[in-house]
C-alpha cells in the first residue's frame, strides 16, 4: 500500500468512526472545522521544516507528487484524519467518563 | 545538535501546548485520564500505519537528524512522541476555541 492509499484510507476510517461508530459527529459541527483550520497552518509549518531539511523523505513512487509547503499533499489528508479522530474520540470518551 | 532537528518540532508544539493550557486556564492536568483513552486509540491506529509505511519504504528518516532511539528497530521515538503531542495540542486547541466561542455549549443543550 502506498502513501496515497494510506492517506485516503485514513480519512475514510476517521470519517466512518466519527459519524457511525463513535457517533460524535464532529464533522457536522462548526467548532471542529474552526479547530481544523486553525491547526492547518501549523501543520504546514512543521511539514515544511521536516521536508525542507530532509528529516523525513518520501519514496517518489509512493506519492502523487503534488506537494504543499514541501510536503506531499497526502500529508494533509493524513493530518486531517488525525485531527478529526482525536476530537471525535475525545468527545466519545468524555461522555463515557462522564466528564464535563 | 543536528540530531535534534526532528525534536525541535516536538519542542515547539509542546511550548504552544503549555502556553495555550495556562493562557486559557484549561486545566488539562485534570483531564489526563480522558486524554490517555483518546490517545491510546490514536497511537494504536497511526503507529500501525506508520510502521507499515516505513516497512514498505514509503517514507524514511535522516538518521543524522533524529535521536536514534528506534521502536521495533524501525520507528524513531520522535514518531511515537509526535502521536502523543500532536493530539494533545489538537485537544487543547479544541478546548480553547470551545471556551472562546461558546460553540460547545450548543451541543449539550440539544442533547
Query: Between A34, A57, A87, which is nearest B90 by CB?
Result: A87
Q: Tell me how far apart the alpha carbons of residues A81 and A14 are, in angstroms, rounded to a whole number.
A: 5
Mean pLDDT of chain B: 93
Phi-psi region of B75 (alpha: psi -120 to 50; beta: other; left: phi over 0): beta
Q: How confident is the model at residue B10 (pLDDT cuts 50, 70, 90)?
A: very high
Does A39 contact B31 at a Cβ distance shorter than 8 Å?
Answer: no
Torsion of the alpha carbons at B102, B103, B104 and B108, rounded to the nearest 10? 100
Contacts of A39 in chain B (CB under 8 A): 89-90, 93
Q: What is the pLDDT along chain A (100 residues), one digit of tens a residue?
A: 588 888 999 999 999 999 999 999 999 999 999 999 999 999 999 999 999 999 999 999 999 999 999 899 999 999 999 999 999 999 999 999 987 6
Which chain A residue lies closest to B3 (C-alpha atoms)?
Answer: A55
Contacts of A47 in chain B (CB under 8 A): none
Does A85 contact B53 at a Cβ distance shorter than 8 Å?
Answer: no
Cell of A6: 494510506
- pLDDT of B108 higher than 80: no
Cell of B15: 511550548
Amino acid at each position: 500500500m502506498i502513501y496515497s492509499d494510506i492517506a485516503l484510507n485514513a480519512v475514510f476510517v476517521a470519517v466512518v468512526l466519527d459519524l457511525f461508530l463513535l457517533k460524535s459527529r464532529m464533522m457536522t459541527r462548526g467548532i471542529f472545522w474552526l479547530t481544523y483550520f486553525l491547526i492547518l497552518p501549523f501543520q504546514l509549518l512543521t511539514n515544511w521544516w521536516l521536508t525542507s531539511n530532509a528529516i523525513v523523505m518520501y519514496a517518489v513512487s509512493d506519492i502523487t507528487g503534488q506537494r504543499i509547503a514541501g510536503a506531499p499533499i497526502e500529508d494533509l489528508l493524513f493530518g486531517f484524519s488525525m485531527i478529526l479522530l482525536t476530537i471525535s474520540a475525545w468527545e466519545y470518551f468524555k461522555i463515557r467518563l462522564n466528564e464535563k | 545538535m543536528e540530531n535534534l532537528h526532528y525534536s525541535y518540532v516536538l519542542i515547539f508544539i509542546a511550548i504552544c501546548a503549555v502556553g495555550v493550557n495556562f493562557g486559557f486556564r484549561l486545566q488539562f492536568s485534570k483531564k489526563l485520564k480522558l486524554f490517555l483513552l483518546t490517545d491510546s486509540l490514536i497511537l494504536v491506529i497511526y503507529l500501525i500505519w506508520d510502521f507499515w509505511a516505513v516497512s514498505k519504504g514509503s517514507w524514511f528518516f535522516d538518521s543524522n537528524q533524529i535521536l536514534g532511539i528506534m521502536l521495533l528497530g524501525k520507528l524513531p521515538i520522535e514518531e511515537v512522541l509526535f502521536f502523543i503531542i500532536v493530539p494533545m495540542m489538537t485537544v487543547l486547541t479544541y478546548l480553547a476555541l470551545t471556551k472562546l466561542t461558546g460553540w460547545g455549549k450548543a451541543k449539550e443543550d440539544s442533547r
